[in-house]
Amino acid sequence: MIPTKLDLTGLKCPLPALMTAKALKALSPGEVLEVHCTDPLSIIDIPHLVRQTGDKVEITERSEQRIIFMIEKTNGSIEDANTPFVNFPQDRDN
């Protein structure tokens, strides 16, 4: 399968993560998104986003100039990214 390419070179945080999320939303399960970034924070932000959505990410290239991610869309939904990082108990006795 030919990956969908997303060129985000030159964009700064938070745009690479936001645009990756939007592109993932448009994909069907099994499709692959190839994301090209230059923002050094994307090495943290994009894998974090992908963990939240339940998709699969692999960093295929990392240099001072560029980062390339290959992201496989799974059955996860981008709406799942709105779930909190930590689930605190609702009935805490303080």
Residues labelled catalytic: 13
Cis peptide before 14 (omega within 30 of 0): yes
Here the tokens at position 60 are: 């295929």
Which residues are bridge partners to 8 per DSSP? 37
Tell me the backbone φ, ψ of residue 58, rounded to 5 degrees.
-140, 130
66 Cβ contact list (under 8 Å, min separation 6): 9, 36, 37, 38
